Chains A and B, each alone.
Chain A
């Protein structure tokens, strides 16, 4: 019996080992470690209570049809200044990309001492995504890949190739791949592997851009373009041709038209952020413990391990993709309930694509709460790196010996920022969802009824975010 099952198990193992690679002695995750104290019960309850109250208030205040259009202020930029700023930010993008490649290949190979790893994961993936959502998206105008693609585009003959809507699934896959590298793989801590990753992405991206035309390809198939465009819509500032636009936070999400894969992209982004937090809770650790000790699974796991699979990565991979699938299903369930609640007065597809973006402010708020202290601590790793980027004993700015000061932000500040961010994020999500409902639904009555399940869902999402923050970090 045991013997009979062996080939099958080893067959599975062979497939998985190709994806997950050989197990490394796990140095992992010290780089991404957070030292937050759990959110106290009072903050948790007050935050959840405020979320419920805001949902009711939102329904009363926002459900008036024919409201004045949202205020927008445009500041005209002198063309010379706009052009100069554009060139400067594109040059900065190219310079940073070059710095990542050079230091990744030839710099010190410790993840906390290498410019490439610290820049990519701390400054860009956490810092710049938050800045894009809270202040202004500077990645889109400075995107170095776009700069290179535009330059190549000038050497390309023929028209842009129209791409079918199925190409919209490419960014979803790309986003999940980035999430996998960040949250599961150890490669994220290896500077040379990061350069390989950036190189692979560039080759695929530029090949696609050359094949289909840069404009089409970046708009349809690039996960980063899509990600930063979405985050930028949450921001109060936006760059428009020749102008700088000031608007209410998150109001850029109102009226955002996305495709079905676009909506799935947003839901997967939320799922990744939630999985990041959930996988550090005692509940996750208990699940991990249960799986590795389960008498049914243990022989399988030992065989897989014997075949070279890293079981922890396997479980985390399943957790990440499982979470994405679960969130998409929950969202689909919400949309079905919403459609029933409003008396089927709008097509399901229209609802599915219409309301995904309204959940973004809560996800951004959770992301901020989760990472604010990490950003304050881990960004300090940049100080010694900037003084000695190649590990040659330089001290360009006198900061070569800076050690991370864990006292720059204290627990109370983090708790206040976390609770305030989630309450504000919830309020903005309620506001965007109501505005969408009035836009999509044929009448006010249907709009109000459609928002009942939405409010329950949003209170659940905010409460889940607060609950994760109130859990002690165990991983």
Chain B
């Protein structure tokens, strides 16, 4: 099974939002962020005689950390070699915003978005195409940009020290960071998802996984019981529930 999985596909090809008084709440908020993002110098309209530039973004969950974003551009070229120089061509770079805050420039079709930049729950991601002097490209008066919503890590904590194994409930599709306290020292096996975590006494063990599949999966460890002997014991259960 490939661990990679396309979990979100960007919505907008080119222009979605235009400033205007009739916008609904969510879009109005985006508009506010846009004007913040265009601090370098407003919009630059693409030449009318040429095909309009466009942008689509696909997000692929990274098996280790966060997402990899694929910026698919039309009628546009990345031009890091011309940074800061005004040119005539429809070229430049992209700006990446997470929840309205600018993260940085993107000079190519792939960029990694690590989990530390994402808040828990839903995150609004906006990517705009800009010219070499940071003016945002527009076509037909609308900025050339893509928006998508990405899930941050769901932080879950479990205490494995209790009398019975706790049941951790997450939703199918969540990307989970599970912190397990009181697991003693040893290797923990997360069955089904087939992951391992090392526990050291006094420190929590961490399991990070993308809950693609529903089911009830044990996190097992080896324990020694006076009566039963060496046992594989469930420290906790992770129930991935259907949405």
Give CA–CA (A8, B194) in the complex, Å.
46
**With A37-B239, A405-B1, A406-B213 as contacts: A23 and B227 at CB distance below 8 Å:** no
> Can you list, as one digit per residue, whether each of B27-63 has a CB less than 8 Å from chain A (1) or not (0)?
0000000000000000000000000000000000000
- Chain B residues with CB under 8 A of A38: 216
- Chain A residues with CB under 8 A of B225: 292
- Chain B residues with CB under 8 A of A37: 214-216, 239, 241-242
The size bracket of the interface on A is 20 to 34
Q: Within 8 Å of chain A (Cβ to Cβ): is B201?
A: no
Q: Within 8 Å of chain B (Cβ to Cβ): is A12?
A: no
Give CA–CA (A310, B230) in the complex, Å.
10
> Can you list, as one digit per residue, whether each of A35-61 has a CB less than 8 Å from chain B (1) or not (0)?
111100000000000000000000000
Complex interface residues of chain B between 64 and 83 (CB less than 8 A to chain A): none
**Is there contact, CB below 8 Å, between B192 and A301?**
no
Q: Within 8 Å of chain A (Cβ to Cβ): is B97?
A: no
Q: Within 8 Å of chain B (Cβ to Cβ): is A14?
A: no
> Can you list, as one digit per residue, whether each of A403-447 has a CB less than 8 Å from chain B (1) or not (0)?
111110011100000000000000000000000000000000000
**Is there contact, CB below 8 Å, between B1 and A407?**
yes
Query: CB < 8 Å: which of B215, B216, B227 contacts A305?
Result: B227
- Chain A residues with CB under 8 A of B167: 472
Q: Within 8 Å of chain B (Cβ to Cβ): is A30?
A: yes
**Is there contact, CB below 8 Å, between A26 and B229?**
yes
Chain A nearest CB, measured from B60 CB (Å): 17
Chain B nearest CB, measured from A289 CB (Å): 9
A309 to chain B: closest residue by CB = B229
Chain B nearest CB, measured from A336 CB (Å): 39
Query: CB < 8 Å: which of A23, A29, A407 contacts B230?
Result: A23
Complex interface residues of chain B between 214 and 243 (CB less than 8 A to chain A): 214-218, 220, 222, 225-232, 234, 237, 239, 241-242
- Chain A residues with CB under 8 A of B214: 37, 410-411
Give CA–CA (A36, B228) in the complex, Å.
26
- Chain B residues with CB under 8 A of A473: 216
Q: Within 8 Å of chain B (Cβ to Cβ): is A332?
A: no
**Is there contact, CB below 8 Å, between B231 and A26?**
yes
Give CA–CA (A293, B241) in the complex, Å.
34
- Most chain A CB within 10 A, of B212, B222, B227, B237, is at B227
Chain A nearest CB, measured from B92 CB (Å): 41
**With A35-B217, A36-B216, A406-B193 as contacts: A28 and B232 at CB distance below 8 Å:** yes
**Is there contact, CB below 8 Å, between B230 and A26?**
yes
A298 to chain B: closest residue by CB = B227
Chain B nearest CB, measured from A56 CB (Å): 33
**With A37-B241, A410-B242, A412-B242 as contacts: A311 and B228 at CB distance below 8 Å:** yes
Give CA–CA (A26, B225) in the complex, Å.
12
> Can you list, as one digit per residue, whether each of B183-217 has a CB less than 8 Å from chain A (1) or not (0)?
00000000111100000000000000000111111
Interface of A (DSSP majority class):
loop
Give CA–CA (A29, B234) in the complex, Å.
12
- Chain A residues with CB under 8 A of B230: 23-26
- Chain B residues with CB under 8 A of A33: 191-192, 218
Give CA–CA (A24, B217) in the complex, Å.
24
Q: Within 8 Å of chain A (Cβ to Cβ): is B118?
A: no
**Is there contact, CB below 8 Å, between B231 and A312?**
yes
- Chain B residues with CB under 8 A of A301: 227
Q: Within 8 Å of chain B (Cβ to Cβ): is A85?
A: no
**Is there contact, CB below 8 Å, between A407 and B213?**
yes
**Is there contact, CB below 8 Å, between A406 and B215?**
yes
- Chain A residues with CB under 8 A of B222: 25
Q: Within 8 Å of chain B (Cβ to Cβ): is A302?
A: yes
- Chain A residues with CB under 8 A of B194: 403-404
B167 to chain A: closest residue by CB = A472
- Chain A residues with CB under 8 A of B227: 292, 298, 301-302, 305, 311
- Chain B residues with CB under 8 A of A305: 226-227, 229
Give CA–CA (A305, B216) in the complex, Å.
32
**Is there contact, CB below 8 Å, between B216 and A472?**
yes
Chain A nearest CB, measured from B6 CB (Å): 14
Q: Within 8 Å of chain A (Cβ to Cβ): is B165?
A: yes
- Chain A residues with CB under 8 A of B191: 30, 33, 35
Give CA–CA (A33, B189) in the complex, Å.
13
- Most chain A CB within 10 A, of B216, B218, B225, B241, is at B216
A22 to chain B: closest residue by CB = B229
Give CA–CA (A474, B216) in the complex, Å.
9
Give CA–CA (A78, B13) in the complex, Å.
64
* 9 CB < 8 A contacts A-B: A23-B229, A33-B191, A35-B192, A292-B228, A311-B227, A311-B229, A405-B1, A406-B215, A410-B213
Q: Ordered nearest first, which 4 A-B pairs have the shortest CB separation? A: A35-B215, A25-B230, A411-B214, A405-B1
